[in-house]
A = this chain, B = another copy of it.
Amino acid sequence: MPSLKPLAQAAKHAARTLANASTAQKDDALRAMAKELRAASAAICEANTADVAAAKAAGKNEAFLDRLTLDGPRVEAMAKAVEAVCGLADPVGEVTERWTRPNGLVVRKVRLPLGVVLMIYESRPNVTSDAAALCLKSGNAAILRGGSESFASNHALAKALARGVESVGLPAEVVQLVPSTDRASLLELLTFEGLIDLCIPRGGEGLIRFVVENARVPVVKHYQGVCHVYVHAAADLAMAERLIVNAKASRPGVCNAAECLLVDRAVASKFLPAAGRALVAKRVELRGDEETVRLLQAADVPVKAAQPEDWGKEFLDLILAVKVVEGLDDALAHIARYGSEHTEAIATKDPAAAQRFTREVCASAVMVNASTRFNDGGELGLGAEVGISTSRLHAFGPMGLKELTSQKYVVEGDGQVR
């Protein structure tokens, strides 16, 4: 197996050029990338057909095949998403703070690209174009390491994207697909300290743990989204019902979906029967603690007894764990023990309870009277994201363009010495 070092070195070299590209040139590149995606649509779909056929033959399920499949409209949507990045503000060169020292030194903090970003992902080919576009706009070279099941699709996509970059005079090596998808080559990439400035793994927990355990390069990631909705005694119960139904059922397979409902004992008998019925109407399976089971059974709402492993579990499915708690302290303790620091929500009309919850919960996003589903780069106004971090280091929450940059100090003086 040939070493991937030349590929990483080429990325590093290309990143230096890209770091100094103007906003106009980067936007030109994004438009050219979108144009090349459209021009290559037929070739991309043909490559994808082969990927899908192989995945079918390997017995992959419908959800997997759907994530993998591309067609004309989906390629067009990818091109549009690349173009949309033109509309986002260029973070590079932004002065985020400025102050003057008593000795006259003027200190500014100025955003600069990270350098080379390694994206590791599984079967969704749209990550290829999304990540390439966000990395390009933030001045970073992207090394894309997709899953083996989408390799032919990713190859066709990356070729088109690189052609677009090259057509505006930027180095094609700012968008490179890793030509192998085995673990040995991934292991090699993870040792390229000094060449790769950030690694973002996305996918199943097994892949992410493999990356964290083997990386010598910095990694920002999240393992799981075990998100709770807590219905406080002073909640607007009708609103709380809408929130949990949305948080659980609107898209159960994503990381910001709720996995557990906590309800204050004071309102449990009033809230749970109605909310339970609404959830069951959305085909949600409820797994309750003893008190929940009692209340729901009394109201003829189907419910199973929760097993110990259901607390803190990321179901990624139409299943919800439900627990009656004794109040805010109990809810905070449950979340500290079982949450994944991803997204936590409280429903309450009591500002003091909301304040304590937002202050004491450690999670990348803490919601008050809003669905957990809003922890998303687009929804929070970041424009787009390359992933959501629960690492706390560097970025905590959705990672948009700013999170793909660092900041350096620029200090101007007139001859100051120490």
Contacts and interface: CB of A to CB of B under 8 A. Distances in A.
Interface of A: 16, 19-20, 93, 99, 101, 105, 107, 110, 112, 114-115, 193, 197-198, 212-213, 216, 218-220, 236, 239, 242-243, 245-247, 250, 336, 354, 358-360, 362-371, 373-375, 379-381, 391-394, 396-397, 406-418
Given A216-B213, A220-B393, A373-B418, A413 B368 contact: yes
Contacts of A394: 393-394
B367 A411 contact: yes
A239 B414 CA distance: 8
Given A380-B101, A411-B368, A417 B373 contact: yes
B408 A365 contact: yes
Nearest to A101: B381
> Top 10 A-B pairs ranked by shortest CB distance?
A370-B413, A246-B417, A394-B394, A365-B409, A239-B415, A392-B406, A373-B418, A218-B393, A368-B412, A396-B406
A415 B370 contact: yes
A16 B250 contact: no
A417 B366 CA distance: 15
A414 B217 CA distance: 42
Contacts of A393: 114, 197-198, 218, 220, 393-394, 406
9 contacts: A20-B359, A99-B381, A115-B362, A197-B392, A198-B393, A212-B216, A242-B415, A250-B417, A375-B409
Nearest to A102: B381
B416 A408 contact: no
A93 B363 CA distance: 14
B101 A379 contact: yes
Given A250-B417, A396-B406, 14 more contacts: A19-B362, A107-B381, A193-B212, A239-B414, A239-B415, A242-B417, A250-B418, A369-B415, A370-B413, A374-B413, A374-B416, A375-B409, A379-B418, A380-B411
A99, A246, A364, A392: most-surrounded residue (chain B CB, <10 A): A392
A410 B197 contact: no
Contacts of A381: 99, 101, 107
A138 to B, nearest CB: 13
A364 B411 contact: no
A379 B413 CA distance: 13
A380 B393 CA distance: 23
Nearest to A239: B415
Contact of A370 (B216, B219, B379, B412): B412
Given A198-B393, A365-B408, A411-B380, A416 B360 contact: no
A141 to B, nearest CB: 13
A14 to B, nearest CB: 13
A99, A393, A414: most-surrounded residue (chain B CB, <10 A): A393
A96 to B, nearest CB: 10
